[in-house]
Structure 1
Amino acid sequence: MTALPRKALPLAFALALASGAAQADAYPNDTEGFHGYMRASAGSSSRHGPLSCYALGGPTAYYRLGNECDSNAEFGYTKELAKADNGVSFVGTLWVNAYAPASDFRGAKLELLKGYVEAKGLPFLNGGTAWVGKRYYYRPDIHMLDMQYINMNGTGGGLDKIPLGAGKFSYAVFKDNDTNATGAGGAIVNTPSALRQNLLYQDLPVNPGGTIDAALTIVTAGGRNRSAGAPVQGQGDHGHDGWAIGLFHHQKVLGGTNMAGFQYGSGPGTGIGVCCVRMGPAGSTALGSDVTRVRLLEDLVIQPTRRFSMEFAAVYQKDKADDVALRNTWTTLGVRPVYALLPNLKLQGELGVSALKQESTGQTARLTKLTLAPAISLGESYWSRPELRLFVSYGKWNGAATPLVNASNNGGPVYGNATSGTSAGLQVEAWW
């Protein structure tokens, strides 16, 4: 398999900035009513075992069409609880989910995803919102990668979308990893907890049809005695602060949207130590300022005709650290074209090429994934869901990627020392 062309990513980013960028929020917000999301797959592989998937794992994301070996269902309800005489609306939201790494929801347990109350339309906030509880919070994604490149979910409170100048300002505070480890006699010997502050300035017009969002994360570690300036007993090298910034340009283009972004993080602000290459939440507070992450993103979704749509994604991410095990460079390019043969019948494909250079091994792992997936769909739009899919996926990788593909496959190391494989099955994806 060939390596990613060195000039491909800079060219992609230049084109994105020239033509503009922005991704529509495909998922419903917490508006009045019952909402949810579900995905599930069933199938097998060329080794006749469990359904297999192809990814490099670690500090990377995966191309998800016909390539998700887990199951997830999340759903809930939003309801106005009360309304003040001056029109301020108090709204409550509760969501639960059931997730399993297998394809049949085996062992999945219900967990609370969201439980929070908002006060909307506050006059002293110029119509802004105040909220407290556990919630999803500013988590845009590159859909075809299932990559929430920034994710500020958590338990806390804040002020949302207060008109300020030409844009809107939001501030929230969260407590992440809010646990302690105890030793003999109940003494606290370790804590990964951190106080996280998130500041957002959104929807700032910068050109016709184009806006910018700016995000700042400030992580304050809880793992040391602030008054003494020393670590908690037994804490070791834990207790580092961190920060992250992000700039995201959104542009309406060709009947769709496009996003071009830049992110930089330091220490726990890199997000390293939490799920799925997310930045925005507090990562491991064991990481010092020597650990940094820089990321460039491009995500283009277009619908130039009623029947044809497409998503294109490109990511460059570089992690630096004194610890060689944390030094990685991940690059990826992918495309998903979709053609609606009939109002409820789509033919879609997805091609993704990824490379992960690991300085700890001195090798570059490479993976290509190709999927064909006809689907019965709600409509002709790229974002029309539900979709019921029949898929065939082919993966090819080099020897350096073999242990990574085996480790990240939910079905286990089904391909052994092989460097290619095929999987096929059925998949449903729905949101409402």
Structure 2
Amino acid sequence: MRLLLLANTIAIALLSFNVMAEASPLEFHGYMRGGVGLSNNAGSNSKWEVNKVGRLGNENDLYGEFGLKKGLYSDDKVSFVVDSMLAYWEGQDSNASDKSVNVVQLNIQAQGLFDDKDIVLWAGDRYYQRHDVHIVDNYFWDVSGIGGGVEHINMGPGKLSFALIQDTVDESSNDQDDVTGVIVDIRYAGIPMWENADLEVGLDYNYGNERDGQTIDADDSIMLTAILNQTFDIGFNQTIIQLANSGYAEQMTTYGYGNGLVRNAANNDATGLRIINWGVVSLGNNIELGHSVRYAAATNVSGTDTDDSTFSVVIRPMYKWTKRMRTVLELGTFTETINDLDSSGSKFTIAQSWVPQSGFWARPEIRIFATYLDDVKNDDRNKTLDMTGLSIGMQVEAWW
């Protein structure tokens, strides 16, 4: 009910916004996933190490994003747009006590104000130029939040973007005052390399702004990102390299994404890197294959002399029996050493699914699945219970 009231309120506000020039219709877009299942070790179907072993048949929650976008002004190649989004989450094992509704986007974007008509000026709360690997449900570069910036500036062969985004994190659990953090995000995209290949590079500088009487012992952090995009007639491939220091170094091995920085002075000498390769290819008319390979390492995290590392591989082949029915497999495995504790595990999922049309990214997709998780090794049993076992269930995923 809260979600419906919030959505209605935002929609009414957008529809009632009148300007001198004719505005565009209200656009509705979004994403959802959800389902039901049973597991012999977790009651409901399991959700375990999704970023490391893959998400297919390994999610036990209901999640949805509901976006409302409205053009407020459009005249003489100048446009102003308001972009808003609600996000809903509900755990499978709980009812009213385990639900949340949040406003995750609310911003204004203006285009056409300058001689370079591609330039967009924006401010507000925004999912900002996010990059992810979908099959492991992980955003490796995501500095989204409240901020503002200028993007898509034509400069040389590519486009330059600049943004300032707030990153204040609740530090009460670390027995210290909150730090007002700001991310300076600079990226240059669309650099041509060779045929059907381009490069995007970026720098994120996360700094803490001291208040009167406050001393921040943790150093500011820098994260460098390079993304090489390659398209083929049969698919695409993407290679990512990230280098980081201080608090960003810790995020390399903990699947962090660029915001939510924990300012720990013990990380001041930390360094880290992350290398990802993922993509999708067609192997004939009826077979498609998605994959994700990830390696990350960090040193001097939390002031220790130990080295942290993580390595994971996920592959998702599918066989298309007809235009609308397919069988999908997903196999994932990982091994890691974090804080001198070793962990490793694997997952195997088989799913029969139905879609409206052929293609790896075709959605909506309704699936019946069986998943086997193998929690091979875990030195920290107080943190994670043994998840070895079988799950069966039904799930749907869609975007629009």
- Shorter-chain TM-score tier: 0.7 to 0.9
Following superposition, the deviation at residue 66 of structure 1 comes to 0.2
**Are residue 358 (structure 1) and residue 349 (structure 2) matched?**
no
Hey, which bits of structure 1, 4+ residues long, moved more than 4 A? Answer: 103-106, 178-181
Residue in 1 that maps onto 2:92: 102
Following superposition, the deviation at residue 326 of structure 1 comes to 8.0
Residue in 1 that maps onto 2:18: none
**Are residue 198 (structure 1) and residue 166 (structure 2) matched?**
no
Following superposition, the deviation at residue 402 of structure 1 comes to 7.2
SS of aligned partner of 2:77: coil
* Amino acid in structure 1 at the alignment position of 2:27: G
Following superposition, the deviation at residue 191 of structure 1 comes to 1.8
**Are residue 257 (structure 1) and residue 248 (structure 2) matched?**
no
Residue in 2 that maps onto 1:91: 81
Following superposition, the deviation at residue 359 of structure 1 comes to 4.6
RMSD: 2.7
CA contact (8 A) 1:194 1:282 kept: no
Residue in 1 that maps onto 2:349: 371
| Higher mean C-alpha displacement, 237-246 vs 147-156 | 237-246
CA contact (8 A) 2:311 2:336 kept: yes
- Provide the rounded CA distance (Å) in 2 between the counterparts of 1:402 and 1:285: 24
- Provide the rounded CA distance (Å) in 2 between the counterparts of 1:431 and 1:73: 9
Following superposition, the deviation at residue 282 of structure 1 comes to 4.8
Matches within 5 A, 1:165-204: 165-177=156-168, 190-204=177-191
- Provide the rounded CA distance (Å) in 2 between the counterparts of 1:303 and 1:104: 40
Residue identity over aligned pairs, in percent, reads 24
How many corresponding residue pairs?
371
Q: If the length of structure 1 is used for normalisation, what is the TM-score?
A: 0.79
* Amino acid in structure 2 at the alignment position of 1:220: Y
**Are residue 303 (structure 1) and residue 282 (structure 2) matched?**
yes
Q: If the length of structure 2 is used for normalisation, what is the TM-score?
A: 0.85
Higher strand share: 2
- Provide the rounded CA distance (Å) in 1 between the counterparts of 2:88 and 2:395: 17
* Amino acid in structure 2 at the alignment position of 1:381: G
Give the gaps of 5 or more residues in structure 1: 1-30, 182-188, 226-230, 408-412
Higher relative contact order, chain-length normalized (CA < 8 Å, sep 6+): 1
Give the gaps of 5 or more residues in structure 2: 1-24
Residue in 2 that maps onto 1:23: none
**Measured at CA, do residues 422 and 337 of structure 1 come closer, stay the same or move farther in structure 2, by a change above 3 Å?**
same
- Provide the rounded CA distance (Å) in 1 between the counterparts of 2:137 and 2:196: 26
- Provide the rounded CA distance (Å) in 2 between the counterparts of 1:398 and 1:316: 19
Following superposition, the deviation at residue 305 of structure 1 comes to 3.8
SS of aligned partner of 1:384: coil
- Provide the rounded CA distance (Å) in 2 between the counterparts of 1:122 and 1:299: 37
Following superposition, the deviation at residue 70 of structure 1 comes to 2.2
SS of aligned partner of 1:268: helix
- Provide the rounded CA distance (Å) in 2 between the counterparts of 1:159 and 1:42: 43
Matches within 5 A, 1:274-423: 277-287=255-265, 288-323=267-302, 324=304, 327-361=307-341, 364-400=342-378, 403=381, 407=384, 413=385, 415=386, 420-423=388-391
For residues 95-140 of structure 1, what are the alpha-carbon distances to aligned partners after superposition, in whole Å with 9 as ceiling and x for unaligned?
A: 1011134366753222101000100133334431100010101211
**Are residue 427 (structure 1) and residue 389 (structure 2) matched?**
no
Residue in 2 that maps onto 1:7: none
Residue in 2 that maps onto 1:34: 28
Following superposition, the deviation at residue 239 of structure 1 comes to 4.1
